[in-house]
Each structure stands twice: as structure tokens, then as C-alpha cells.
Structure 1
Amino acid sequence: MKNVTSLASGAVTALVLSLGLAGGAAAEDFEWPRLLVIGTPGTSSGSFASTNGWGPILQKETGTTVRIVPEDSETQRYRRLTDREDIAISSVSASEMRYQIQGIDGYSQTKPVAQRILWHHNDTPWGYVVAGDSPVKSVQDIKNGGVRITQGVFSPPMVSAVTVGLPAMLGMSEDEVAEKIEFVPASSYAENCRSVVEGKSDIAYCSPISSVLSEMEGAPGSIRWLDLDPSDKEGWNAYLAERPMLIPAEIEMGVKTARGVNGATSNFVYSVPATADVDFAYNMAKWFHESFDAYKGTHPLATRMSMDQFRKYLNRTPLPVHEGTVKYLREIGQWSDEDDTWNNKAIETMDAWIAARQEALKAAQEQGIEVNFENQEFLDLMKEKTAGVENFQSRL
């Protein structure tokens, strides 16, 4: 018997759960755990709200007691999943999962543990918006010069997206960027987006599901979205070098002006440790699929947990999928030999990162180097040990 989840919160000091699963148990005789703890971002997040939508239905249909634990700290939620093991499933962005596996920033000092995708959770669409009467009709017009682009200085990833990623997609050199683009700083997300309807900027990087975009769409002249051609693989590869976990996709959610336009999505997944029981993962995947109609109306983001959305994500993700999920998908004809090829490569890449980071931690201990993400000597050692390991990047 293997302990896979426990809960330590408030008045509950310790609840250690054993799944008690026999290897190879058939779905019909699967015994659900007495307690299933799922970690999500904080209470104000869509991930927390949508998980609280389907959790009670899983509890009612299977008899397992479901606990949704909000954990704002991404590093702490990672530790609870992989080290403390007091949550069984984590809702995490694919971008964050890459940081966790590759030991980027604060994760450099955490215990390296391999993870797997259990199921797709949700996706947030992103795109480049302009005023309805803007002379900028295409992202290619940026190369003509005289274009102002807002950079949200409150978010480093958003800054890199517009100052490095977008010019790289267009094949612009640093000199061309300096000559032809004026970057307009914005101190908040709302200010960033509103800049195009207020005449302060020509282009802003925004999500069409944000309430501020509804306000902008209703403004005089309305707004338009610039298409990011999914067939431009060279451009997308350059863009993804800066934002590697974004997925090229047609925008399906949010304001009407954005729908049908090609943009990008940032995906959240439900992850589990690679060692999670195969039968547990198999039956969770089966439940997510077969009970979709029962929970899809509990929260708008729950609609993004369909088999169709998961399959689209599987066509692009560089992250490995759990063996139990693969087993179920194969049974229902949603997994192919081609999927085995990329998934096996993803597993090899993750294993390489885990091994390299473990070697770095061992070397640091032997050499008396402090394991701290603010210690440059340790970071240099980590860089040396992980050199040559392939970065995770969305598949085109």
C-alpha cells in the first residue's frame, strides 16, 4: 500500500491516506481513496473556483472525500505535491511546471521530482489588440516603423513578450527594434490594455477574457486583434524561444472581436508525480472524460476540460502525460503511436533534467556550496551541470 495524499490544515493535524490499490486493478473494481486532496492557486483564482465546481461531483459519484486546498505560493504547492506529498493533484500552469522541472529561479533549490500531466485544466487566450480605427492592420506592419507598443512593467513575462518575443517573431534585429518601435510603459494590466483606446499606444498584449477588454470593446471605435499566423513556424519558433510554453491557437473565449483570431494560449494542467499510481491516474482520467457533462456547467473554465480541448493540447504540449492517462486515452482511441513517440521523448527530457539537477545538488554538497537561488556560485554550478539538456518548448 502506498501513501499518496494527506491533509495538514487548520484543526486537522495529519491525515495520511493510503490508496490501497492492487496493480492492474480494473476500472470496475477500483477502490477510490477515502480522501483526495487537490492543490490549486489561491481562493481568488479561476483554478480554485473551477476545481471547487467539479470536486463535489467527483465526491458524490465515487464516494471519495475531496478537499480543495488553495496555496498561493507556487513553490510551496510544488513541495506539497512532490516532497511532503500531502496533496495528490496540483493545478499548475505549464509555464510554472517548466520552471519547476528545470529548476529556474527559486525552484533551483527545491528537490527535483519528475511530474506528469493527469488532465487538461484550463487555458487563457492571449493576443495583440489595437484600436478599431488603428492603421496597424497586421503584426507585419510593425516593421514599417513608427509603432508604439505598450509594455506592462508590472509583469516581466509580459515585458519580454513584447520587447523580445514579438520582434523575434517578425525577424527584427535589435537595431531595427530601436529604430522602429517605441515601447510605452504601463504600471498596471488595465492601464496596459486601455492604452490603445486612450491613444497612448498602438498595440497592447492582452487576454480577451479580461473584463477590461469588454469595456474597451464597447468604447467608441471598438477594438481589433492582430492575427498571429499559426503556419509561420519560423516566426513562432523565434517567439517561443522567449515564451516557450505558449501554444499557438485560435481564440475561442472572451470578447467577440477576438474570437476566431489566431493568438496564443497559456495552459493550466492537473499534474501528479511521475510515481502516482497507474490505476488512480487511469480512473481519474476516465472520470474527467465520462462525467464531463455533469460538471461542465459548474464554472466557465470547466468547459475547457473536455476531451476535445485536452486532445488539442496534446498536439502541442512538450510535457509528458502519466501512464494511467495514456492507458485510458488509448482505450478510447484518443492516443496513437505518434503520441507515444513525443511522450517518450518528453519523459526522456524530464528525466535528463532531474538527473542533471540531482548531480548539481550532490556536487554542491560535496563542495560546500550553499544551495540557494541567490547564491551565484550555486547557480553557476547548476548551469554547468544542466548544460546541453534540452529546454521544454511547445511543439509546433
Structure 2
Amino acid sequence: MIVRNGPALAGGALVAAALAVGLAVGGAARAQEATVPDTMMWSAYDVGSSGYTEASAVADAMIKTYGTRIRIMPSGTSIGRLLPLKTGRVQYGWLANEVYFATEAVFDFASNEWGPQDLRVLMGRPAGFGLGCAADAGIESIADVAGKRVSRIEANPSVNIKVAAILAFAGLTWDDVEVVEMPSYGAALRGVVEGTNDCAGGVPTAGTFRELEASSRGITWPDMPADNTEAWERLRAVAPFFAPTAETVGAGLSEETPAQLIAYRYPMITTYADTSEEDAYNFVKAMDETFDLYKNANPVMPRWTVESAGTTPADAPFHPGAIRYLTEIGVWTDADAAWNAQRLARMEQVRAAWDAAQEQALDQTIPAKEWPAFWESYRQQHLN
């Protein structure tokens, strides 16, 4: 059972940020390879986030090229970004790891109102993530993080699961570090600068990490070498959508001094499986056709090439429409296809487990408020 239809959006819960309408296409219609709708609505992280900034740059390029109207609905919560996609208010979301959580029906998506969501990815920019540590804390490897003060952010499973995976690289868990609970991502990074903690998980391009680099504490990124197979198996046991990367952009990093970090996809352009193949195909084609207009919007935009953003792994399977275009231009490989098939099979297993758990909960008259805990226990027993 796929749960999609949900409650209507509360009035004013999401603030729509309208982008300026591009110049009208005058005279004879220009021939365009991609067929783009007259209007589109997207959801994204809140204003000021890298996801919102990148979505805005792409929207501006599409507005100028196709004369379409695009509105971006920003939200600082995973529910706020996915709910308008679920209800059909937006066509695409520029999302983060809530894509994985929603397909697995965990955290915010474990409730009866959600359940496993049948999401598909169109493209996802490679992004680096690591433990940004104060250089004066004496941390040279992930193993050295044991006993150190590490930020854990309240109600932010997207960041916390990455830190948990990084700790697992060295066989560590949250129990092996001194956890410093933080109210927000910004506060977690700020704590390293101010000496409240020693390490915080984050993207190297974060402005606060630049401050840490320039401070008396300095910054270091403990490596996770790609050739440490056993360590990467432990890391991927926490979350399977990570891959190794040599990050060269960010605080304390350069081509000469890269760090071996984890790569994931953020933001991921996401939609539901029932989005038409033609719409998904043309969206990816439009991303490719307008690349030259947005590629210089900020230092990470060059990573939106189809060769980088149109490959696996990602937090959900790729949409058939996206695969069709990526195959046409020679980007989609047999390895991508194999990964996609495996990911689709996993989602079928999750949906089957959800249905079975629902039946068992009904037989045992499990109260609705106890369902998330019941489901988590069932998942642990029946899903790897």
C-alpha cells in the first residue's frame, strides 16, 4: 500500500516565493528540444539554503529560455517540502535525505498518515559531507573522534544519520562520543567555533566552517579513504546512499589539500512515480539544455551536469523518464540500471513489510499513537 493522499495544506503554512516571470518569447516561436509546462511549482529548503539558491538559479534559466512561470515554495522541514508534493500542489521537490526516509517510512514518515512513499529522482547533485573538527582537538582520523564532543541536532535526522554513518566508519556509535545536543544545524556548526564542541557534521562550503578555518581553533576534516572496504561496509550499513569522494571545495580544502569525505545527493529533484514519463523526460532535458545559463550561479552549480547529477546512487530510484533521456545521451550505464533495479526491489520489500505490519497491528489492536514504535520494531525484525 502506497500512502499518498493526505490532509490539505494549512493556509499560510508554506510561503510561496514567486520568481520574476521571464521575457516573453516574441516573434516566431523558437524551436526548443524540451517541452516545458507553462507553469510549474517546486518545493525546496528555506530561503538562504543552498537548495533554494540552486533551484532559483535553474528556475531563472528555464524562465528565460522557455518563458515558463515557476514558483518555489520554501520550507525548513522535511514534511513541509514533501507534503505539497504528496498532495499535488507542486510537481517537483528539490529535496534532501527526506527522500530516503520517506521511501523507508522512518522518522517523520513512520506515521499512518504517511507510510512508504513511491518517490522517484530525476537528478541529484553530488555533495560532500564530513565531520568538520577543530584542529586543536587533536583529531587526525575518525577513530580519534572517540571521547570527543560531537554535535547531535534535535529533530534533524538528515544530518544525524550522516554523522552516525561517519562514526560507523571507525566502528563507533553515538555512545562512543560525548554528545552535545544542539537546537539547529547552524548552532551545531557555531558550537565548534565557540568551543562548545569539537566536531559537527556538515557541508564544507558552509560559511560557519569558513569562520572556523579562520579562527584560532582552525579546521580539519578526518578522512574516510575509499580503499578501506570494511569501513565503508560499516558506513553503508547505516545508510546505503553514500559513496566516497575527494572533496576540494570548502573550508580548509583545495585541489592541493582535498579530504576523503562521503558523497551524497543534495538537492535531489524528486517527484512521484506516477508523474508522466514525458514530463520527467522533458524536465531532465531542460536541465541539460539550460545548463550554460545557470552553471556559474555559484561554485557548486557545475556539478549539475547530467554526467554528474544523472548517475546513481541516490535516495530513491530514478524515474523512467529521466532514465530515457540519460540513456539517449549515453550517461546511463548498465551499473546504473543494476543499482536502480536493486533499489526498486528494496522499495517493494518495504511496502510489503508495511502492509504486513498494518495487518498485524490491526489484529493486535495497536493504538495509533503506538504505531510508529510498533513499525520500527517490525522493520528491525523483517527488513535488513
TM-score (norm 1): 0.74
- Report the CA distance between 1:230 and its aligned residue: 1.3
How far does residue 90 in structure 1 lie from its aligned partner after superposition?
0.8
Could you tell me which amino acid in structure 2 is paired with residue 99 of structure 1? F
Structure 1 counterpart of 2:344:
347
What is the 5 A alignment of 1:182-201?
192-193=188-189
Shift, 1:166, TM fit: 4.6
Alpha-carbon distance in structure 1 between the residues aligned to 2:275 and 2:237: 31
C-alpha separation between the residues in 2 aligned to 1:239 and 1:323? 29
Output the aligned Cα RMSD: 3.6
In structure 2, list runs of 5 or more residues that go unmatched: 1-8, 13-30
Q: Identify the match of residue 68 of structure 1 among 69, 72, 76.
A: 72
Residue identity in the other structure for 2:253: T
Decide whether the 8 Å contact of 1:39 with 1:70 is kept in 2.
yes
CA distance in 2, matches of 1:72, 1:199: 27
**Does 2:317 match 1:320?**
yes
1:88 matches 2:86: no
For residues 247-302 of structure 1, give each alpha carbon's deviation from its aligned partner in whole angstroms, at most 9, with x where no partner exists.
32111321243651111234220111111111111111111122211112234453
What letter corresponds to residue 283 of structure 2 in structure 1? M
Q: Confirm or deny: 8 A CA contact 1:38 1:68 kept in the other structure.
A: yes
| CA distance, structure 1, for counterparts of residue 286 and residue 197 of structure 2 | 47
C-alpha distance 9-45 of structure 1, shift in aligned 2 (>3 A) = farther
Partner of 1:129: 133
- Aligned position for 1:302: 301
Q: In the alignment, is the contact (CA less than 8 A) between 1:122 and 1:301 conserved in 2? A: no
Instruction: Please state if 1:249 is matched with 2:248.
Output: no
Q: 1:57 aligns with which of 61, 64, 81?
A: 61
Listed as ranges, the matches of 1:1-396 within 5 Å are 31-82=35-86, 84-93=87-96, 95-108=97-110, 109=112, 110=114, 112-121=116-125, 123-131=127-135, 135-141=138-144, 148-152=148-152, 154=154, 157=157, 165-171=165-171, 192-193=188-189, 203-220=199-216, 222-257=218-253, 260-267=258-265, 268-311=267-310, 314-317=311-314, 319-361=316-358, 369-370=366-367, 372=368, 375-377=369-371, 379-380=373-374, 383-384=377-378, 387-390=381-384
Cα gap change, 1:341/1:159 in structure 2, threshold over 3 Å: closer, same or farther?
A: closer
Q: Distance in 2 between matches of 1:256 and 1:338?
A: 34
Contact 2:44 2:94 in 1 (8 A): yes
Distance 2:198 2:381 in 1: 40
Which whole-Å deviations, capped at 9, do the CAs of 1:144-203 have from their partners, x for residues lacking one?
xxx5343345466566666x54553223699xx76xx65566676566556667777665
Q: 1:260 to 1:78 in 2, by over 3 A?
A: same
**Structure 1 residues 325 and 200, CA gap change in structure 2 (3 angstroms):** closer
The Cα shift of 1:55 comes to 0.9
Q: How many residues align?
A: 352
Q: Is the 8 A contact 1:151 1:183 kept in 2?
A: yes
8 Å contact kept, 1:197–1:223: no
Kindly provide the CA deviation profile for residues 8-52 of structure 1, in whole angstroms up to 9, marking residues without a partner as x: 987xxxxxxxxxxxxxxxx97864323211111222322222212
Q: Deviations over 1:346-367 (max 9, x none)?
A: 1121233234324544665677
In structure 2, relative to structure 1, the CA distance for the partners of 1:361 and 1:141 (3 Å cut) is closer
Larger Rg: 1
Q: Distance in 1 between matches of 2:183 and 2:89?
A: 38
Q: Which residue of 2 aligns with 1:15?
A: none
Cα distance 1:386–1:173, how it changes in 2: closer, same or farther (>3 A)?
closer
Flag the 1:226–1:363 CA change in 2: closer, same or farther, 3 A: closer
3-state secondary structure, aligned to 2:238: coil
Distance 1:213 1:332, change over 3 A: same
Percent identity between matched residues is 23
1:3 is matched with none
Change (3 A) 1:202 1:119: closer
* Residue type of the alignment partner of 2:103: I
Separation in 2 of the partners of 1:96 and 1:266?
Answer: 13
CA distance in 1, matches of 2:246, 2:285: 27
8 Å Cα contact 2:132/2:204 also seen in 1: no
**Structure 1 364/183 Cα, relative in aligned 2: closer, same or farther at 3 Å?**
closer
> How does the TM-score come out when normalised to structure 2?
0.76
Cα shift at 1:321: 0.6
| Cα distance between partner residues in 2 of 1:243 and 1:379 | 20
Q: Which amino acid aligns with 1:96?
A: E
Confirm or deny: 8 A CA contact 2:121 2:314 kept in the other structure.
no
Deviation at 1:69, TM superposition (A): 1.8
CA, structure 1 residues 277+184, in 2 after alignment: closer, same or farther (shift >3 Å)?
closer
User: 1:206–1:30: structure 2 CA closer, same or farther, 3 Å change rule?
Assistant: closer
CA contact (8 A) 2:143 2:172 kept: no
Structure 1: segments with no counterpart, 5+ residues: 1-6, 11-26, 391-396
Query: What SS is found at the alignment partner of 1:58?
Result: helix
Conserved? CA contact 1:130–1:204, under 8 Å: no
Residues 155 and 355 of structure 1, relative CA distance in 2, 3 Å threshold: closer
* Alignment partners' CA distance in 1, 2:216 and 2:237: 37
